[in-house]
A and B are shown apart, each in its own frame.
Chain A
């Protein structure tokens, strides 16, 4: 177990280094000059050269990366070009909102996906199953900005059940969390359905029925725990999927998280912020995957980590 953790953690560190290298290179491949953005339209070449030297952007790419990586290893994300403030505290102040949104989205997708999948599996081939699977197909294939704006229009603007935008209470959270999690819910309902149908064919389900328990108990006690395993394994991966989703959803709902920060940073070519958010996002994706693997043996005792 200790060995397993050590191996997984060192692999995770390698992945993070790789992510920073790729992102660093990408920001320099963009055919736009961050110095021009900072200096403004009326700046002279001399002013731009001065800023370039000041930011260390005149040095070779490899040298720039090495000094960035050295600072990053000490926990220093650098200074934002646009905001003139430290990137580390900036991300830290935005992160709780994003984590809250992701947690809400995970709860939303599980609350949607698992019951819908159970229902469809128990009504296999019947009308209820077909309706549920059609809806899940629709949710999976609806773009998040369309879904978010539609929800805002109906539930916030027309019905007035939820605030239009902002942050701070549960009613602020519900619409963005559903927008972020609905597609995952549709995806999970399909996984849950096929997993349940597979499990309900197993011999131990027949054993459970032979004990004289109700079909409901067979489904919820004996089948669910086995069927839910692939879904749990996916939750860790969701963190990665959500990382791209939050950029859209936070902008639609005015949610003050790192998705919004990222959007603004990209528009102003604020490279230290782009790098910082990407690195933090990668950190969460890696941690999510690791967490999913660590949780699996708690649900299925046959799984051994080695």
Chain B
């Protein structure tokens, strides 16, 4: 199918960020601990990828590693590549990273209340990236900052410019954070739980703002959240993480329509939107095992109703969802997991009709939900 191949090449070309086999470890007093294990995903220009998971699943560590913001030691990239516009950020030196941070790759954080410097004016903090990356003076940066404040929906920008963070509400501060991140027109915005600390109505406003800015500028967004409602609202593709690994990855619509990983299915079932009035909310029993206590086999096996003998023994690789599962038990049980993964990757595209990356629905489970 030559047409298919061509389309795929185009998709490849548009990949802005591609994370390949990334593993992140921390040196602790009890020895080294793997926090993120062999994760791969890609973000294309102009799209929004949601990185979803519970607290402690490694999503924030992943986000900060992409920016190389974690102090090393103790944090360490143990394997993998982070390819951003042709540069491997996992190998990039500090000087190279400084040119990329805040310029082509920007980030906003969960806590707008504490993420702004209390002793600097809003205007100075937003304009700072222009001084760093564009070599502008404070006077030259001012009109651009005022314009940016207007763009993120902050009224009376002249007044806000001279104000200090403590004079602003949480919602306004997160708008300031967004203005700060976008001032140099980055290609990718990493948003780490941008609305978690905000009121529900303010949350909706901030999400609307991010969507509008994306429509105007074509910026790609990597949205890290634990809120499936936010994912449904915002994301084109979703990566679900559990205990440092990817459990499932799919286009958002596909994932919500047909979750294959028991964890994803459990999360969706536990979502209050799906609950019936008067009925008890569904929960997933147990808690996430902390890093270092994840044992062998699938980390979710102890909480999983569908767990097989094999789940406690072998870690399931991330596979195309219809190549594995209860409907094909002989395949899953006879082929060694690594071989299977390798086979899947090496199959010629024309013979296998491999879908474009990002469009595929992949799941890491020996016994997925049908």
Residues of chain B contacted by A210 (CB below 8 angstroms)? 67, 69, 101-102, 106-107, 109, 181
Set B100, B114, B118, B164: member contacting A212, Cβ < 8 A: B100
B101 contacts A203, C-beta separation under 8 Å = no
Is the Cβ of A207 less than 8 Å from the Cβ of B115?
A: yes
Query: Within 8 Å of chain A (Cβ to Cβ): is B132?
Result: yes
User: Are A213 and B109 interface neighbours, CB within 8 A?
Assistant: no
The distance from the CB of A88 to the nearest CB of chain B, in whole angstroms, is: 43
Least CB distance, A69 to chain B, in whole angstroms: 44
- Known A207-B109, A212-B100; judge A222-B117 contact (CB<8 A): yes
Residue A164 CB within 8 A of the other chain? no
What 0/1 pattern do residues 103 to 130 of B give for CB contact below 8 A with A? 1001101010011111110000000110
Interface 0/1 of A190-207, CB less than 8 Å to B: 000000000000111011
User: Is there contact, CB below 8 Å, between A213 and B132?
Assistant: yes
Interface flag for A208 (CB, 8 Å): yes
Q: Are B128 and A211 in contact (CB under 8 A)?
A: yes
Q: Is A168's CB within 8 Å of the partner chain B?
A: no
Q: Are A204 and B117 in contact (CB under 8 A)?
A: yes
Q: What B residues does A222 contact at CB under 8 A?
A: 117, 120
Given A203-B114, A204-B115, are A212 and B98 neighbors across the interface (CB < 8 Å)?
A: yes
Which residues of the partner chain A approach B181 to less than 8 Å between Cβ atoms? 210
Cα A227 to Cα B217 in complex, Å, equals: 38
Taking a contact as CB atoms under 8 Å apart, the answer to whether A211 and B115 are in contact is: no
Residues in chain B near residue A299, CB distance under 8 A? 119
Contact of A211 (CB < 8 Å), options: B109, B114, B180:
B180
Question: Which residue of B69, B98, B114, B120 is within 8 Å of A202 (Cβ)?
Answer: B114
Known contacts A209-B101, A211-B132, A226-B119, A302 near B67 by CB under 8 Å: no
Contact with A along B159-195 (1 / 0, CB 8 A): 0000010100000000001001100000000000000
Q: Nearest CB to that of B114 among chain A residues? A: A203
In the complex, whether A42 has a CB less than 8 A from a CB of chain B is no
Do A207 and B116 touch across chains, with their CB atoms under 8 A apart?
A: yes
**A202 neighbours in B (Cβ, 8 Å):** 114
- Among B111, B116, B118, B180, max chain A CB count under 10 A is at B118
Q: From B98, B111, B114, B177, give the contact of A213 (CB < 8 A).
A: B98
Q: How far is the CB of A195 from chain B (nearest CB, A)?
A: 13
Decide: A302 near B164, CB < 8 A? Known: A208-B117, A209-B69, A226-B118.
Answer: yes
What residues of B have a CB within 8 angstroms of the CB of A214 in the complex?
98
* Minimum Cβ distance to chain B for residue A196 (Å): 14
Min CB distance A220 to B, Å, is 13
CA distance A225 to B120 in the complex (A): 9
Question: Closest residue of chain B to A211, judged by CB?
Answer: B102
On chain A, the residues within 8 Å of B118 by CB distance are 204, 226, 300-302
B144 on interface, CB distance cutoff 8 Å: no
B328 on the interface (CB 8 Å rule)?
no
- Residues in B with CB closer than 8 Å to A213 are 98, 102, 128, 132
Distance, CA A222 to CA B120, complexed state (A): 8
Interface: B99 (CB within 8 A): yes
Q: Could you say which of A209, A211, A222, A301 has the most chain B C-beta atoms within 10 Å of its C-beta?
A: A211
Q: Within the complex, what minimum Cβ distance (angstroms) separates B276 from chain A?
A: 40
The answer on a CB contact under 8 Å between A226 and B117 is yes
Return the chain B residue nearest A301 by Cβ.
B164
Does B312 belong to the interface (CB within 8 Å)?
Answer: no
Whether the pair B69, A212 counts as a contact (CB closer than 8 A) is: no
Q: Give the chain A neighbours of B303 by CB distance below 8 A.
A: none
Return the chain B residue nearest A209 by Cβ: B69
| A206-B100 in contact (CB<8A) | no
Instruction: Report the separation of the CA atoms of residues A212 and B128 in the bound assembly, to the nearest whole angstrom.
Output: 10
- Please tell me if the beta carbons of A211 and B177 are within 8 angstroms of each other in the complex: no
Q: In chain A, residues 83-142, which have Cβ atoms closer than 8 Å to a Cβ of chain B?
A: none
Q: Measured between alpha carbons, how far is A222 from B165 in the docked complex, in Å?
A: 14
Task: Decide yes or no: A206 and B115 within 8 Å by CB, A214-B98, A301-B164 being known contacts.
Answer: yes
When distances are taken between beta carbons in the complex, the residues of chain B under 8 Å from A225 are: 119-120
A214 to B117: give the CA distance in the assembly, Å.
Answer: 16
| 3 closest A-B pairs by CB | A212-B101, A211-B102, A212-B102
Q: List 24 A-B contacts (CB under 8 A).
A: A202-B114, A203-B114, A203-B115, A204-B115, A207-B109, A207-B117, A207-B177, A208-B117, A210-B69, A210-B101, A210-B106, A210-B107, A211-B132, A211-B180, A212-B100, A212-B101, A212-B132, A213-B102, A213-B132, A225-B119, A300-B118, A300-B119, A301-B166, A302-B164
